[in-house]
Structure 1
Amino acid sequence: MAKPVPMAEVWRGPLLESLHLGHAVICDASGQVVRSWGDPDAVIYPRSSVKMIQALPLITSGAAARYGLTSEQLALACASHNGAHIHTVRVNSWLDQLGLGDDDFRCGPQLPDDIPARIELIKSDNSPCQVHNNCSGKHAGFLTLTQYLGAGTEYIEVDHPVQQACLAAFEETTGQDSPGYGIDGCSAPNFATTVTGLARSMAWFASAGDRSDRASQAAQQLVAAMTAHPELVAGETRACTNLMRAMGGKVAIKTGAEAVFIAILPEQQMGVAVKITDGATRASECAIAALMVSLGVLEAEHPATRKYMNKTLYSRRGLECGAIRPAAELLF
């Protein structure tokens, strides 16, 4: 079994102060590995990086069409959002459309990452609701499919029809049987796969335009929604939003907890998966930016790129003191 390899370096002055190791895979439209780093067969939880897979049954079942879901709603189904007003207003409107309320969610409350929304809650002495949860868009999708199927309310149970549909989509697109699952931060099952399986799934999404089956058409809709609404997929200040904007809507990228990152490149018909073994987000953001630069879809000197790759570090007095850089092997 191959070991994880250097992916991101943290320099302070002339010394390498910290080193983040990980795995990465690039797959082509046929699902074959084009390039890999570390162990392509490492088994991981993809966490929120696979929300577009979890949203596939929402469309293939006919639920999205039945409820007339918009591209904004599909983007939110794929989102790990900041809990800003642009997110919560839309998710609450979605709940209203279903005749449901915050208590019907099973994701749990979360203090919003959006600073203005957080300050507003604190000043009003209100507690966060489940709609503030970064996964509330995904859960609105789960609730939509649950209602469409006439299934039970506990849609996060692994044997629930919604989660079984997600598992079927997951195994079909990764090309692998999942060895098991863990419970995600939003309480839904998160199915494990290899880094290669994750990259293969993203390549399947990237090449969906070459196929005419229902699942591939759904994949195209989801990728189009993500790239059309990057601010809904994450939010201001976030890497997913900033980098998708910098790439002009031609590439969909998505982070997951514990330093997972994916990319879907339709023009190149490639999928990318990154996992940093120590779970450091700064490293996964640096690595995905570097890989996008290497694949020719992101400018190295774009201001958004410099927030994550070759990022200058400053002291609290504003003195330049170091940098976060990708490992040289990622720049091919």
Structure 2
Amino acid sequence: MTNPVPMAEIWRGQLLESLHQGHAVVCDDSGQVVRSWGDPDAVIYPRSSAKMIQALPLITSGAAEKFGLTSEQLALACASHNGAEIHTSRVNSWLTQLGLTDSDFRCGPQLPNDIPARNGLIKTDTSPCQVHNNCSGKHAGFLTLAQHMGAGPEYVEMDHPVQQACLTAFEETTGQDSPCFGIDGCSAPNFATTVTGLARSMAWFASASDRSDRSSSAAQQLVAAMTTHPDLVAGETRACTNLMRAMDGKVAIKTGAEAVFIAIIPEKRLGVALKIVDGATRASECAIAAILVSLGVLDANHPETLKYMNTPIRSRRGIEAGIVRPATELLF
């Protein structure tokens, strides 16, 4: 086993105040590792970075076509959204389309990250609903697939046909048997794989246009939905949305809890996966930005890039006190 390597540094003055370590892999369209840092065989939970894999059966089953799902709905199926009005209104409309209500979700309520939406609930003394959960789009996709299958309402159970379909898609695209699963924050199973397996899956998505099978066609639709609607995949102020916009829709990226990040780069047929071992989001955002810059798909000096990489740390009076920057190991 290889130890994790430095990926993001926090400098204050002349002192390296904090150091975040992790693992990362870049795979090509043949599934081979072309660059790695740390331990490429480290087993991780992808968390929400794998939502596009979980959305594959929604299309390959014929459910998306049957229900006439739009690219916006496919983007929401891959989303970890802020719970803003642009997210919740669309998910509620999706529920109505299915003839279902918020009580049919199994993701649990969550206070929205979107400040206007959160303030609106507070001002009206209203409790958040399950539609505010950042995973409600994914769960709307699960409900759609369950209806199409004629399966029962407990769609987050591991033995449910929906989750079995997700597991099959996960193992097929990663090229590995998943050794175990954990329960995600939204109560759905989350399947473990190696950092290489996750990067291989993303490379499979990136090269989907080279193939003509049903799964690859579904992958193309999902990547196109994410890059066309970056505001639905995350939301304002979020790294996924900001960096996809900075790359003009040419790259799909997705974060996951506990500092996982992936990138799908169709023009280079490359997939990227990384995990920061201490779970720090500031580090995963910095590291993915640095890798994307190194791969030539993100401008290091773009204003959005500078929000995450080589980012000044300021005092509450606005005095520059330090910097968040990628470790030299990531720059090549």
Q: Which bin holds the TM-score, normalised by the shorter protein? A: over 0.9
Partner of residue 78, structure 1: 78
Please give the secondary structure, in 2, of the residue aligned with 1:312.
Answer: strand
Match of 1:302 in 2: 302
CA distance in 1, matches of 2:209, 2:223: 11
**In the TM superposition, what whole-angstrom CA distance separates every residue of 1:93-151 from its partner, at most 9, and x where no partner exists?**
00000000000000000000000000000000000000000000000000000000000
Q: What is aligned with 2:95?
A: 95
| Aligned equivalent of 2:35 | 35
**Structure 2 Cα separation of the partners of residues 225 and 113 of structure 1:** 22
The alpha carbon displacement at 1:331 in A equals: 1.1
- The equivalences for 1:124-135 within 5 A come to 124-135=124-135
What number of residue pairs does the alignment pair up? 332
Whole-angstrom distance in 2 between the partners of 1:37 and 1:63: 39
Q: CA deviation at 1:329?
A: 1.5
2 CA distance for matches of 1:68 and 1:327? 46
Q: What is the SS of the residue equivalent to 2:263?
A: strand
- Which residue identity lines up with residue 94 of structure 1 in the other structure? W
Match of 1:157 in 2: 157
CA RMSD for the aligned pairs? 0.3
Instruction: Provide the secondary structure at the position in 2 that maps to 1:55.
Output: helix
SS of 2:212's equivalent?
coil
SS in 2 for 1:159: coil
1:2 maps to what in 2? Answer: 2
> Aligned partners of 2:329 and 2:316: how far apart in 1?
32
**Structure 1: distance between partners of 2:217 and 2:159:** 26
Q: Distance in 1 between matches of 2:297 and 2:313?
A: 25
Q: Which runs of 5+ in 1 are unaligned?
A: none
- Within 5 Å, give how 1:50-129 maps onto structure 2: 50-129=50-129
- The alignment status of 1:261 with 2:273, answered yes or no, reads no
1:311 maps to a residue whose letter is: T
Structure-2 separation of matches of 1:83 and 1:190: 22
**Offset at 1:13?**
0.5
Is 1:214 the counterpart of 2:221? The answer is no
1:194 Cα shift? 0.1
Task: Provide the rounded CA distance (Å) in 2 between the counterparts of 1:292 and 1:202.
Answer: 14
Gaps of 5+ in 2: none
Q: Which residue of 2 aligns with 1:182?
A: 182
Give distance in 1, aligned partners of 2:116 and 2:13: 35
Between the aligned residues of both structures, percent identity stands at: 83
Match of 2:291 in 1: 291
Q: 1-side partners of 2:265 and 2:318: how far apart?
A: 37
Q: Which amino acid aligns with 1:216?
A: S
Distance 2:113 2:280 in 1: 18
Q: What is the aligned partner in structure 2 of residue 324 from structure 1?
A: 324
Amino acid at match of 2:300: A
TM-score, with structure 1 as normaliser? 1.00
Give the residue type in structure 2 aligned to 1:138.
K
> Deviations along 1:168-192, whole A, 9 cap, x unmatched?
0000000000001000000000000
SS at match of 2:268: coil
Deviations 1:256-299 (A, max 9, x none): 00000000000000000010000000000000000000000000
Deviations 1:141-165 (A, max 9, x none): 0000000000010000001000000
Match of 1:275 in 2: 275
**CA distance in structure 2 between the partners assigned to 1:239 and 1:41 by the alignment:** 26
**Residue identity opposite 1:127 in structure 2:** S
Counterpart Cα distance in 2 of 1:5 and 1:328: 10
Q: Which runs of 4+ in 1 moved over 6 A?
A: none
Distance 2:248 2:116 in 1: 27
Aligned residue number for residue 198 of structure 1: 198
Other structure's SS at 1:21 match: strand
Alignment-mate amino acid for residue 300 of structure 1 = A
Residue identity matched to 2:87:
H
Q: Which amino acid aligns with 1:230?
A: P
Residue 239 (structure 1) aligns with: 239
TM-score computed with the length of structure 2 as normaliser: 1.00
